[in-house]
Amino acid sequence: MAVLGIPHNTIDIIKRYNIKFQKKFGQNFLIDTHVLEKIISASGVTKSDFVLEIGPGIGTMTQYLCESAREVMAVEVDSNLIPVLSDTLSVYDNVTIVNEDILKLDINRIVQEHNNGNAIKVVANLPYYITTPIIMGLFESHVPLESVTVMVQKEVAQRMQAVPGTKDYGALSLAVQYYADALIVANVPPNCFIPRPNVGSAVIKLTCHSSPPVNTDDEKFMFNIIHASFNQRRKTLQNGLANNSGLGISKKEAADAIKQMGLAENTRGEVLELAQFAKLCNILLKGRKQAREEAGV
């Protein structure tokens, strides 16, 4: 079996199958065994695990996962790579290759059928253009997850683990941290891939919470508040909330809630922690409920 983490083996496969890199799928194949070993180590995959791999490409990381896991399901959207995967993974009997778009797949059903509904591990070298939709899709569909270990654009990884008051902190930071603890475990330069991407990459491990770290009376409303707070970073939190037509929050409502939080009038959303956004959400909901009751609605 040709180990694909070794560059000349990857080049042989690319030539043999005359692989044309699909820009629309963001294809960059890893050619560094040290990075691959670091990803597998960080993921903590063991022989008791069912692993979902997103975007296996030609099967480079899949080979490593098959050696470490009980069962691997590799979901690849590019139908041209399915015959390649059938070849490069032919020696393994613990892998299923699925030619699907991960965003359209019923992962909860897969978890039920392949892991008795127990939490799974996700490992992936994600296409940069669709990183956030994939990660948030996993979280928001409430798939039973133990961890998500992924290669992403370095800038995106930094945003995921950013803290309040920093330039990278934003709605993505809060969304990820609501569902998981984020930790960058490796930075990966462009020369570790074929073809070389134009930007640096990073491996980030998201260790999923068994339950949310904050209490909110309306998760969706809280995230709407968060997005409104970061839509125009230079605006104050009060103006960000009041100027967002989708929220339906008046300037007075926003001002009253911010005052109840013990925050200054000119506070910006970028300094609030997740727990503060949850508290703000609950205060605004409580205020609306009281207003309805007073109006007899």
Buried b (16+ CB within 10 A) or exposed e, 43-79: bebeeebbbbbbbbbbbbbbbbbbebbebbbbbbbbe
Domain boundaries, the chain: 7-208, 219-294
- State which fold the 7-208 domain adopts: Rossmann fold (3.40.50)
pLDDT tens digits for range 95-104: 999 999 999 9
**Architecture of the domain whose range is 219-294:** Orthogonal Bundle (1.10)
Q: 3-class secondary structure for 240-291?
A: HHHCCCCCCCCHHHHHHHHHHCCCCCCCCHHHCCHHHHHHHHHHHHHHHHHH
For the CA atoms of 83, 64, 60, 100, what is the dihedral angle to 10 degrees? 50
Burial of 24 from C-beta contacts in 10 A (0-12 / 13-18 / 19+): exposed
Which stretch of DSSP H or E encloses residue 63? helix 60-68
pLDDT tens digits for range 134-192: 999 999 999 999 999 999 999 999 999 999 999 999 999 999 999 999 999 999 999 99
What pLDDT is attached to residue 297? Answer: 60
Arithmetic mean of pLDDT, 194-205: 94
The sheet that has 180-188: what strands, in order across it?
Answer: 95-98, 71-75, 50-54, 120-125, 145-153, 201-208, 180-188
